[in-house]
Amino acid sequence: MNASHEDQGRPEPRVGPAPAEEPSFHPYHHPAAGWGAAKSVTRVLTRERALVDGPRAIMRMNHENTGFDCPGCAWPDDTKGLHLDICENGIKHVTWEMTRKRVGREFFADHTVTELAGWSDFALEDQGRLTEPMVYDPESDHYVPIAWHDAFELAGRILRELDDPNQASFYTSGRLGNEATFLYQLFARELGTNNLPDCSNMCHEASGRALQASLGTGKGTVDLQDWETTDALFIMGVNAASNAPRMLTALAEAYHRGAQIVHINPLVEAAATRTIVPHDFMDMALMKTTRTSTLNLQPRIGGDMALLRGMAKAVLEEARRDPKAVDQEFIDRYTAGFDEYRAVCEATTWEEIERQSGLDRADVLKAARVYGDADRSIVSWCLGVSQHEHGVDTVREIVNLLLLRGNLGREGAGPSPVRGHSNVQGNRTCGIDHRPTEEFLDRLAEVCKIDPPHEHGLDTVATIHAMHRGDVKVFVGMGGNFALAAPDTPYTYEALRRCELTVQVSTKLNRSHLVHGRRALILPCLGRTEKDHQRGGVQSTSVEDSMSMVHLSVGMKRPASPHLLSEPAVIAGLARAALPGSDTPWEWYVEDYDRIRDTMAQTLDGFEDCNRRVRLPLGFRIRQPARELVFLTPSGRAEFSAAPLPDVVPAPGTLALGTMRSHDQWNTTIYSDDDRYRGVKGLRTLVFMNEDDMRERGVREFDPVDITSTAKDGSHRHLDGYLAIPYDIPRGCAAGYMPEMNVLCAIGDYSTQSDQPLMKHVKVTITRSA
């Protein structure tokens, strides 16, 4: 299989393990979670040789203050406290970190970087945990050991010698705890740059910007209790059974209560069918399934905004007959821009709504009826909504719809984005933002006695461009796997290779260590499950979940190697070396993270008294003004938006391709080549297509096809020899897996609204391979 950019047909190593000789596809008809999940967990525990530690650790996960936060996803913990609320993928994720396998200096002595570059991504991570700092030696093409002090000194010297601090860029992947996050942004800003790209730039940037514009807060307003009391749940663009599996419990509970559950997704994912609640032992024993859906709608890729507009139009039409269909009192009292919005809804024709959404008017009306009949509604969404050109407009349309019936600021109602990484929301709260507000910078300057830069910094896409041009010379990756997660793989590789220095702070070997700058450091750190000993004793870190709850996470496992440092210690080491004269007490902070939290309490909104509050049994919830109907918008009201519907219908002969995760992967970490809930075994290099689209192209099941994307600038990118799988997906749509398909995502194709790469709407043609 070949991946290439224009004529640059360089073969790429595989991402997954080894595709089966005979891959298989049988549509999945079993409930989500339940025994299939239990079996899969056992397999992973065995492979990682964690059969003893694994189960013990899992019992400590997500428990009130005594355990560590599951690094699997950002779904909140049960508000009722102790509860074995764990999931298959969380367990896979934890055991992946706790593996007994190690990558030591002998490993690096045995393999050149060129050799490793030919390994699959699965094989790289499968070697186990990194154990000591390493530096790239160009003479021998090996990574060789380096003392921590020398590693810091090397990075510090290169940072000190830059002509301009904006020649460095500091990436964060959303797993970093709040305390390390705070130190990291302080380091970058004291150095003099706001170049703080993060995974959020590829993830929920659109949601943050939309909610900020509409409600004056970048976050959702609901919590789990709201999920437990709502009448109607609208679940949009998320594969919850794989990516937020603990949501299944909430869906099953909602169903039992008689709530309506509407899934909006081009694919009918496993969470839109039924589940066996994994922590309900009676259900498990009796194989008792619960439905998790009352209505499934399959819009075309990108068709959500048209569907939402149609629902709003129907509600407004109903209001002419029955004024109570809208909450006029709420609208008058709390919102601005209603008349323009009503006008734009009226002006949008049903024909346009049907064409753009790909749904019949009757189906749109079904969803509208559910919404109109519910006293309280929650709309929840993830990447299927955000990773689009018009992601911001679509999230704003979600808010528009909610405002119509006053679904905000009361129990059981509101917007509820499902965040990705376990602390991606906390990262933003604690200062990872390439566009910081003036108020934040002023507070930081006052409390930390630094002079932060005010000009906005670079996000992910802009950082890649700047590295390519040579404007950014130092790239620091605080976790994550930038090389593989970012769009336009060959372009991103070239950008990283042009750097003077790349530094990767990681737990496992990955592609970003092999696609490196002229000089390169691998700095291995503690994982979240591990005990973090500092001078002041065992340390804890705090994290924030999707619903703004902040709580402590305490690791309890012996570290994978005695040479690992915690993330705050690595940041402090880098900072001291780069800023030798700094008045910031870096070393003092690392001795006791309470000191970092004290500074955070003075600097960050909502963190007042956080050292005490974070130790309360369930932690604390960050104040959400919009929840209290306080809107920090220019008008002081919730703002309706009135954007025109975008044209998302693929041109004749082309398809809209969405890139997504399989069940057995965590972003760039691949556990196997299977995608259980979609019925696929032993194959990742596939493309799901509508049967009619296949027939039209003379393509049958498992036929190899060539995929060509066309970028906004007209350039083409290719993936050849992918196998076609007939799937229940609307015509004109196709889907396949990231990160393999990132090759097809052009670097210039990002949303003008959010700057997010367009990972769910790649324009492609698909033909049978010659």
Residue numbers of the site for Mo ion (CB under 5 A)?
203, 420
The span from the CA of 677 to the CA of 658, in Å, is: 17
Among 331, 364, 476, 759, binds ligand MGD (CB under 6 A): 759
What counts of helices (H) and strands (E) characterise the chain?
A: 31, 34
Contact between 510 and ligand MGD (CB under 6 A)?
yes
Among ligand MGD, Mo ion, none, partner that 697 touches (CB below 5 to 8 angstroms by kind): none
Task: Output the smallest distance, CB 96 to ligand MGD, in A.
Answer: 8
The span from the CA of 6 to the CA of 571, in Å, is: 39
Among Mo ion, ligand MGD, none, partner that 396 touches (CB below 5 to 8 angstroms by kind): none
Whether 174 and 482 have beta carbons less than 8 Å apart is answered as no
Among Mo ion, ligand MGD, none, partner that 218 touches (CB below 5 to 8 angstroms by kind): none
The residue among 240 and 277 lying less far from Mo ion, judged by its C-beta, is 240
The residue among 127 and 423 lying less far from Mo ion, judged by its C-beta, is 423
Q: What's the distance, CA 310 to chain centroid? A: 28
Binding mask 276-305 for ligand MGD (x = CB under 6 A): -------------------------xx-x-
Contact between 528 and ligand MGD (CB under 6 A)?
yes
Give the residue among 430, 383, 341, 344 at the shortest CA–CA distance from 235. Answer: 383
Task: Output the smallest distance, CB 78 to ligand MGD, in A.
Answer: 18
The residue among 639 and 675 lying less far from ligand MGD, judged by its C-beta, is 675
Backbone angles phi and psi of 657, in degrees to 5: -105, 130
The residue among 335 and 540 lying less far from ligand MGD, judged by its C-beta, is 540
The span from the CA of 588 to the CA of 593, in Å, is: 9
Question: 249 vs 84, 280, 496, CA distance in Å?
Answer: 11, 9, 42
In the structure encoding, which two tokens stand for residue 636, read together? 């002081």
Among ligand MGD, Mo ion, none, partner that 557 touches (CB below 5 to 8 angstroms by kind): none
3-class DSSP assignment, residue 335: strand
Among 507, 553, 672, 685, binds ligand MGD (CB under 6 A): 507
Among 274, 697, 760, 763, binds ligand MGD (CB under 6 A): 760
Contact between 73 and ligand MGD (CB under 6 A)?
yes
Backbone angles phi and psi of 466, in degrees to 5: -65, -35
Residues present in the chain in total: 770
Task: Output the smallest distance, CB 486 to Mo ion, in A.
Answer: 12
The residue among 230 and 265 lying less far from ligand MGD, judged by its C-beta, is 265
Whether 409 and 265 have beta carbons less than 8 Å apart is answered as no
CB contact set of 649 (below 8 Å; sequence gap of 6+): 300, 355, 356, 732
User: Near ligand MGD by CB under 6 A, which window of 33-41, 133-141, 335-343, 477-485?
Assistant: 477-485
Contact between 743 and ligand MGD (CB under 6 A)?
no
Contact between 738 and ligand MGD (CB under 6 A)?
yes
Specify the DSSP element, H or E, that contains 665: strand 665-666
Among ligand MGD, Mo ion, none, partner that 243 touches (CB below 5 to 8 angstroms by kind): ligand MGD
In the structure encoding, which two tokens stand for residue 230, read together? 């709502």
The residue among 372 and 739 lying less far from ligand MGD, judged by its C-beta, is 739
According to the 3-state scheme, what is the secondary structure of 193-230?
Answer: CCCCCEHHHHCCHHHHHHHHHHHCCCCCCCCHHHHHHC
CB contact set of 733 (below 8 Å; sequence gap of 6+): 266, 300, 301, 655, 656, 657, 658, 690
Residue with tokens 């706001």: 194
In the structure encoding, which two tokens stand for residue 356, read together? 């753009």
The residue among 130 and 203 lying less far from Mo ion, judged by its C-beta, is 203
Among ligand MGD, Mo ion, none, partner that 507 touches (CB below 5 to 8 angstroms by kind): ligand MGD
Applying the rule CB under 6 A, the residues between 221 and 250 that interact with ligand MGD are 236-239, 242-244
For ligand MGD, the binding residues (CB under 6 A) are 72-73, 89, 125, 173, 175, 199, 202-203, 236-239, 242-244, 264-267, 269, 301-302, 304, 382-385, 387, 420-421, 478-482, 485, 505-508, 510, 525, 527-528, 567, 658-661, 665-669, 738-739, 741-742, 745, 759-760
